[in-house]
Amino acid sequence: MPLVNSKQILLDAQQYNYAVGAFNVENMEMVKAVIGAAEELKAPVILQTTPSTVKYAGTEVYHAMVNAFAARSKVPVCLHLDHGDSYDLAVQAIRVGYTSIMIDGSAKAYDDNVAISRKVVNEAKRAGVPVEAELGRVGGKEDDLDVEADTNTDVGEAIDFVQRTEIDSLAVAIGTAHGFYAGTPVLNKQRLSEIRDNVSIPLVLHGASGISDEDVRDCIRRGICKVNFATELRVAYTDAVKELLREKPETFDPKALGKVGIEAVKQLVKNRMMVCGCDGKAETRE
């Protein structure tokens, strides 16, 4: 089916108390793996590219790949710009055909974050594309950005931010971090519940790689409707390729490397979808 936007699938997740898995993809093999997992589990799915991934091949290439696989799929597939770092990149992705956009102004002063988020929303509305933005700071490393300390989302600012920007979903900071964790993460779940009680739009959890399954499920119970996974997919793909080369160092066919990478990523994605509870939630079409 054609690519869908993220608005309705996240509203459905919000209504029925599950989350949609959102998976960062780097190449054709990962695109194939993620959509294949969604088809096997009959799950709606969001595929994401970051600014550094886009630099690697271009928004046109990633859109063409995802769109081609989505056209053959019977489950809803959304293509999302993750951590869009500029208005120009957001507009480029919209014009190419991305069906969901994140503008990340969380590193800016609050009013500047409001301003750039509102500017992107104004452009996206004309194209019917929903917008995610981030308030507070998620720690760790995402793309080329390092954040040394977490600043949890303020409830009062969240209310004001959503009203002023008119975004469609809000990424919240509650103690998660991008990448893998050096120790056991301590999540401010009470803050998440407070935000949910005061903000009506779907909430997004970044930095889920390395969080326990039970913590993810608890965050979903407390209002998270979209959960992002990135680092662990890269590790699964790369580890599978390394293992094949250890066992069969004579392997030279890139397709052989891709096949083991696809299978490893597919199995991981299926596990994460079941943790999110989105398996079986897709409205499939012939």
Any idea where the domains of the chain sit in the sequence? 6-276
pLDDT at 148: 47
pLDDT at 176: 77
How many Å apart are CA 72 and CA 178, to the nearest integer? 32
Lowest mean pLDDT among 84-93, 112-121, 208-217: 208-217
Q: Assess if CATH 3.20.20.70 describes domain 6-276.
A: yes
pLDDT of 183-240, one tens digit each?
Answer: 567 799 999 999 999 999 999 999 887 789 999 999 999 999 999 999 999 999 999 9
The mean per-residue pLDDT over the stretch 72-92 comes to 97
**CA-derived radius of gyration, the chain:** 18
Q: Could you say which DSSP state residue 44 is in?
A: -
What amino acid positions are annotated as catalytic residues? Answer: 82
Bridge partners of 49, per DSSP, are 81
Q: How many CB atoms lie within 10 A of CB 254?
A: 10
pLDDT at 13: 97
Is pLDDT above 90 for 141?
no
Beta carbons within 8 Å of 269's beta carbon, 6+ residues apart? 21, 23, 33, 34, 37, 38, 229, 233
84-92 contacts at long range (C-beta below 8 A, 24 or more positions apart): 84/51, 84/120, 85/51, 85/143, 85/145, 87/116, 87/119, 87/120, 87/123, 89/51, 89/54, 90/120, 90/123, 90/124, 91/120, 91/123, 92/59
How many Å apart are CA 285 and CA 280, to the nearest integer? 13
Number of H helices, E strands in the chain: 11, 11
pLDDT higher at 178 or 202: 202
Lowest mean pLDDT among 15-19, 90-94, 180-184, 275-279: 180-184
Say whether 261 sits in a helix, a strand or coil. Answer: helix
Q: Report which of 50, 71, 72, 70 is spatially closest to residue 59, judged by C-alpha positions.
A: 50
Q: Is the dihedral of CA 187, 193, 194, 200 positive or negative?
A: positive
pLDDT at 137: 67
